[in-house]
Amino acid sequence: MDFEDWKPVEFEIEGLHPLDSFRPSTDVEQEVWISEALSQSGAAVFNEMLAIETSQVLDRAIIASTLDYLSQKHHCLRTVFSPDGQWACILQSMPLKLANISCDNRSDVLAHLEQDASQAFDVVNGPLVSWTLATCGVTSIICLKAHHIICDGLSMSRIMADFVSIYECLLSGQDLNLQVLSTTSSEEDSKNFWLTKVQGVRETLRLPYSKSPQYKVSESAKQVDYLIPQDQSNIILDQARKLKCSPTALFVATTQWVLGLIAKQDVFALGVPAVRSGTGGDPEPTGHHTSMVPIPVLLSKNTSFLSLVQEAQSHLLDAAEQGGTTLGAILREHNIEREEGRLPLVNFVINVDPRIPVTIQGEPCNFITIPKAFQAFECFLNIVIEDAGITLECNFQQDLFDSTTIEGLIKEVSKSALDLSQNAEQTWPEQQLNEGRDTLGYWKKRLTPLPEPIDIVPDWPRHRSAEQSYESLDKDIGSQLKSLLGRWHCRSHLPEKFAWISAYARLLSAYSRQDEFLLGVENDDRTWVPLRIKTYRNQTFEELSTSIFKEYESNYEYKISSTTELTDHLATNQVADQNSLWSAAFRTSADSDGILQCDLELTLVKDRILLRYRSDMYGRSTATALLEALETLMIESLKDEHHTLTFSLGKIEKNLLKESPDSLLLDKFKSMVQSQPDHTAMVWQDSILTYRELDLKITGRAYELSRLGISCGSLIGIHLERSDEMVITLFAVLSLGAGYVPLDPLYPRDRLEYMTHQGKLAWVISDNTELWDIPFEGQLINISSLSKGKPEASVISLPKPDQTAYVIYTSGSTGKPKGVEIQHRALAQFIEGMQDRVPIGINDRVLGITTISFDISILEIFMTLAQGATLVLGPGSLATDPEALQALLIKHDISILQATPATWTMLLNHGWQGKSNLRAISGGEALRDDLAKLLVSCTQELWNVYGPTEATVWATASKITKGIDVDIGTALDGYQIAILDDNLNPCPRGMAGTLWISGPALAKGYLYRPDLTAERFQVVPSIGSRAYNTGDLCRINNDGKIQYLRRVDTQVKIRGFRIELGEIESLLAQESGVKEAAVIVREDQPGDQRLTAYITLKAENSKSGSQYFIDYLNQHLPRYMIPNSIEILEHFPLTDSGKIDRKSLPRPKPLIPHADQSPSDLSPMEAHIASLWQKLIGFPAPLQKTDSFFTLGGHSLLAIQFMSHVKEHFNYEIKLRDLLTANLGQIAHAIETIAGQKPRRSR
């Protein structure tokens, strides 16, 4: 169906009466519909409630008749909406049901009504209004609840007044003269008027939060009420008349005055409801005619309260005349990005509600406010003016404020309204603002640039939406430590708490690997002093404690009482869910009842130390290890304060290492040939070789190669396509005592040439010599020219343990790859260690899918054949062809498959359901928890393996059983693992450090690169032997297993390939037109890691477009190292220290291919969605699977149209919030899962 043919969605309203009429929904109604769809609390956030209380006993039957008449009079009470929110449907009738409750206590009635406030309406099926009659003794309460989409606050009052009027008429038997009121409101476009008004407002009001807004998880609300005594209320109202302003203007001006002082902000905006006038001659239309408009607030020392009142009066008149827009429309034009769960620009709303008096049988009724259970704005201040006085009702989001803060705020508004109205000439107290800014200015200067928040690696990832929980541990200060503290105090003349602060700071520095961070220190009067901690190598405890004390002393006079205020003013680098500038704090008061405002908090109380910690991030054993390490640090530091802080906090669990493996690869293989000669060794396409047949072919190939001069110690380039001949040739080379160097035919010529010359290769074996055009001094051997003569076993020269088995080139940071040289000892040690952990048996069938240029192919080929199993060799395209891979798994009943997480993800994403007898091995890059969970559920067992090429394939392995908190296990037999700090001392459990590997499986080094070998392979005293620095940041978790965290340097792994980002950067920088280059890994979609390059160009550069530079890289790099996109920038964003700010590099622009390029392969469903998006959004270029609707330029109203189309044609409901996060491919997949169902028929 073409986009042009789309029609309004037709739908059924289940169980309801036929339509009377329908109309397009107004923009304010659509805004409510969209906000509800985005709301985390659902429709209940838009419930409106109003109740009246009377001493009269109300007649239920007459009330029922009254509700019928009300439904006839007010169209809004019979209105529902189409599923897409585009149409308002007025039904012919909508019976209004009446709920009845009876309680002995009035408080029970109110509790019931408050609970009802959290129950949502169904905007499609309705009804969108409900009534409750509650009786409590002789008192009756009638309560109206309505959805805000059909009823604003003023309409609620009018409907309630009509209810009383109709009830009285029916009760007395009088005739009714009903005037049916329509719900159509003015649609005058006034957004340009308000855009002009607020163009100078760029910052949302900084309210006195108890918790920063970014940590809000719902719109759950509370309410605080404050009644201004009647005598004071009368004074305020009287002063409003004298100032010739409305009470609304007076309270708006007062609120502006107070909020400006609290926020120390002179430019901001407040929200004010604007009621649109009706049309069609209706004098008092009911429905939702209220839109929210932003009124600007501009304060200065010349601003008098009188001028502020006059300005407020003017703005309120503007709101009455220019109410024909919505806040959403203003925000879209204002270019302010909307955040989920929070409206920008306007977060505080003020409304004045002059209640319409009502009486029943001559008795006045009291209005009862039922607090809203959810609030869309951060604060909504409703000022109710009644005969009994003025009530300030403040409904607020309880995730952001506590009741005490809000109570103080509205009391200040009440007090200021009374004082300012009687002294209207006084000017805004600029001096107070300046004093506040001086303090903030001091800290801004002192703390800018903000150091990165200290980040001690957690046991469980921090999640912004997760509920935070806290636990504590305490420990006695032993007699030894007390004695040391006393002596230290006498020597240093510093308070003892600074010894604790200094040791705590040093511990935090060690665990986080950060030498600069903020630490919050609480004073005895509950004020705070932020300390900028700086540590450095070889720093003594005396130097550290002295510097911390000086920092504290110089900052003490600027101590702060509100950490939230400082956080909101300065916090640009906060971790996603922290509540203050610092991740760790030190206190001397034992008040642990409040919310922990950071990750870790150390408290010193008399003779005990107390550690409070986030238990949703850290386990108890980690917290215990921290306390124990702190105590060790204190004792060692106080014993000798001149000693540098380089002593070890941990120890290395050493394995018993053999000097050499039991047997080498070829010995193991020959043993299998002798013990099971007729067992299937290898399957390649339709060819099957037994162990005897494979051995004969290997011997024959070795004989032919020996005749050409290949012998022990030679290095042979292997430039072969994937086939059984490739495996035979590898074994033949090893049988001669030579080593092989993979030369992948898919690699670019420049890289192959470099490897050939740097490796000083004397021979290159190729199956297509016509394609080999690289000049070198050695001999090029065409494998097809080798004769197949009688095998001569005499040529076999079994290698010695220290001879080279292979050299694999990996990415290098200098722009050139480096060759890792692996000896036979290391190869055999890997096979033995892996066989001990993840054994391969003779009945196993192992699928080989990995290029020999990637060292994990060693397991697939050599380990399989060394253990007597069957190798099923797959073609080179198998790793990227999920259908073919699935077919081979089934055809050959594969029992072991080793693959990277990217390949496993590809399989699962293409419908693979798993294999119950398959043992899955995942390695080459970090295994995500979600992927591990899926694999655990659909395979016999899952192993997560880890290891660098320099330590011969895999060095650790872990059997994953749950798919959560995935680790990389422990060292294989024959491997030694150590996690060391920057001083090469062992890290204690839980502390992050660099992973080092030692043992007989280590590489000999980098081929012909002694400088680089010496840099990465070192004799480490704490290990006691030669070890390799992996550059991986790891730690030991609570179970004693190794947890991989991230890379220390710029090396990354994507889809199993190890990539030095510096190599790509270096190549880009060598291009004549490039000025600077930076390459990063982006993960804009979870699990989808992509290389992105950024460049700036020289002024004289004439080359335009990213494709030129992609083509340039294609000439020098293998395909897996080519960035997914290259962004050309005018200049790089910089940190305060002048370095490239990689975190601020922009998200890549949507790809617009050349005219001769076609979009990536899309399924029919994906192509259908892409076409709709292009037409809806007006996007000119073909779309990709990874494109997202809103990134392409879509917005909420367009999203509604797309969602309606999907609902109508595929019977599938997409949530607006899902559309915000999912990409095109994910949406298409979700729809396709139900595509086989018959679409719902339009009615």
pLDDT tens column, 276-335? 544 333 444 555 556 788 888 888 777 889 989 988 888 887 777 677 677 777 776 665
Tell me which residue of 934, 883, 891, 863 sits closest to 1087, measured CA to CA: 934
Q: 353 — phi, psi (to 5°)?
A: -115, 95
Instruction: Output the pLDDT for position 354.
Output: 67
The average pLDDT across 183-198 equals: 63
Per-residue pLDDT for 233 more than 60? Answer: yes
What gap in Å lies between CA 92 and CA 78, rounded to an integer? 7
Nearest 5°: phi and psi at 700? -65, -45
Share of the chain above pLDDT 70, in %: 81
**C-alpha distances in angstroms, 81 versus 24, 92, 267?**
10, 14, 39
The CATH number assigned to the domain with range 1051-1144 reads: 3.30.300.30
pLDDT at 576 over 60: no
Higher pLDDT residue, 65 or 968? 968
Q: Is 180's pLDDT higher than 60?
A: no
User: Does the pLDDT at position 965 exceed 80?
Assistant: no
Q: Do domains 191-355+375-436 and 1164-1232 have the same CATH topology?
A: no
What CA–CA distance (Å, rounded) separates 946 from 965?
15
> pLDDT tens digit string along 904-943?
988 988 889 999 999 999 998 888 887 899 999 999 999 9
Q: What is the pLDDT of residue 841?
A: 96
Strands (E) located in 635-791: 680-684, 687-690, 715-719, 739-742, 763-766, 779-782
Across residues 1140-1164, what is the average pLDDT?
A: 64
Q: Which residues pair with 263 in a beta bridge?
A: none
Cβ distance 406 to 379 under 8 Å?
yes
Question: In the CATH scheme, what architecture does the domain 191-355+375-436 have?
Answer: 2-Layer Sandwich (3.30)
Across the chain, what does the average pLDDT equal? Answer: 80
**Residue 1196 · residue 1219 · CB < 8 Å:** no
Please provide the DSSP assignment of 999-1048 as one string. Answer: STTS--EETT-HHHHHHHEEEETTTTEEEEEEEEEEEE-TTS-EEEEEES
- Looking at domain 4-172, what is its CATH homologous superfamily? Chloramphenicol acetyltransferase-like domain (3.30.559.10)
Beta-carbon contacts of 265 under 8 Å, excluding residues fewer than 6 positions away, are 203, 205, 206, 259
pLDDT of 791 over the 60 cut: yes
Q: What local confidence, expressed as pLDDT, does residue 386 receive?
A: 79
CA proximity to 701, closest of 791, 764, 635, 768? 791
Q: How many C-beta atoms surround the C-beta of residue 913 within 10 A?
A: 9
Query: Model confidence at 8, in pLDDT bands (50, 70, 90)?
Result: very low
Across residues 760-779, what is the average pLDDT? 88
**Which of the four pLDDT bands, split at 50, 70 and 90, describes residue 1242?**
very low
Mean pLDDT across the stretch 823-845? 96
How much is the pLDDT for 695?
95
Per-residue pLDDT, averaged over 726-744, amounts to 96
- At 670 the pLDDT is 94
The answer, yes or no, to whether residue 166 has pLDDT greater than 50, is yes
Q: Sorting pLDDT into bands at 50, 70 and 90, what band is 492?
A: confident
pLDDT band at residue 488 using 50, 70 and 90 as cut-offs = confident
Q: What pLDDT is stored for residue 633 in this prediction? A: 87
Q: What is the mean pLDDT of residues 246-271?
A: 87
Give the span between the Cα atoms of 861 and 9, in whole angstroms.
59
Give me the helix-helix angle, 247-263 and 305-321, nearest 10°.
Answer: 120
pLDDT of residue 282: 43
Q: Among 237-251, 593-607, 718-732, which stretch is predicted with the lowest mean pLDDT? A: 593-607
Q: Does 947 score more than 50 pLDDT?
A: yes
Mean pLDDT of 828-842: 96
pLDDT of residue 646: 54
Q: Which residue has the higher pLDDT, 3 or 851?
A: 851
Percent of the chain scoring above 90 in pLDDT:
25
**Strand partners of residue 159:** none
Q: Which amino acid is at 461?
A: P
Q: What is the largest CA-CA distance in the chain?
A: 123
Say what the pLDDT of residue 381 is: 92
Locate the domains of the chain by residue range.
Answer: 4-172, 191-355+375-436, 470-639, 665-1033, 1051-1144, 1164-1232
Rounded to 10 degrees, what is the CA torsion of 560, 564, 568, 574?
A: 100
- The sign of the torsion formed by the CA atoms of 895, 900, 906, 911 equals positive
Per residue in 216-230, pLDDT (tens digit) is 556 788 888 888 888
Homologous superfamily of 470-639: Nonribosomal peptide synthetase, condensation domain (3.30.559.30)
Considering only 358-372, 646-660, 828-842, 1055-1069, which range has the smallest mean pLDDT? 646-660
pLDDT on residue 568: 62
DSSP 28-92: HHHHHHHHHHH-SSGGGGGEEEEEEEESSPPPHHHHHHHHHHHHHHBGGGGEEE-TTS-EEEEES
Q: Which of 16-30, 356-370, 376-390, 1144-1158 has the lowest mean pLDDT?
A: 1144-1158
Query: How confident is the model at residue 338, as a pLDDT?
Result: 47
Instruction: Give the pLDDT confidence score for residue 1104 in this predicted structure.
Output: 65
Residue 212 host element (H or E): none
pLDDT at 434 over 50: no
Q: What pLDDT is stored for residue 1137 in this prediction?
A: 40
Residue 1108 has pLDDT above 50, yes or no: yes
pLDDT at 662 over 70: yes
Q: Quick check: 1102 pLDDT over 70?
A: no
- Does the pLDDT of residue 708 top 80, yes or no? yes
Q: Which CATH class is domain 665-1033?
A: alpha beta
Give the C-alpha separation, 437 to 432, whole Å.
9
Residues 885-911 pLDDT 10s: 999 999 999 999 999 888 898 898 888
* pLDDT of 1034 strictly over 70: yes
pLDDT of residue 814: 64
**Beta bridge mates, 1034:** 993, 1044
What 750-755 contacts at long range (C-beta under 8 Å, 24+ apart), as own/partner pairs, is: 750/1115, 750/1116, 751/817, 751/1116, 751/1117, 751/1118, 752/719, 754/816, 754/817, 755/717, 755/809, 755/817, 755/819
Phi, psi of 523 (to 5 degrees): -90, 170
Mean pLDDT score, 785-795: 69
For the chain, the first-to-last Cα distance in angstroms comes to: 18
**pLDDT recorded at residue 1139:** 54
Q: In the CATH hierarchy, which fold is given to the domain comprising 1164-1232?
A: 1.10.1200
**pLDDT band, very low/low/confident/very high, at 1152 (cuts 50, 70, 90):** very low
Chain segment 529-558, per-residue pLDDT in tens = 899 998 887 888 888 999 998 888 888 777
Mean pLDDT of the region 684-690: 95
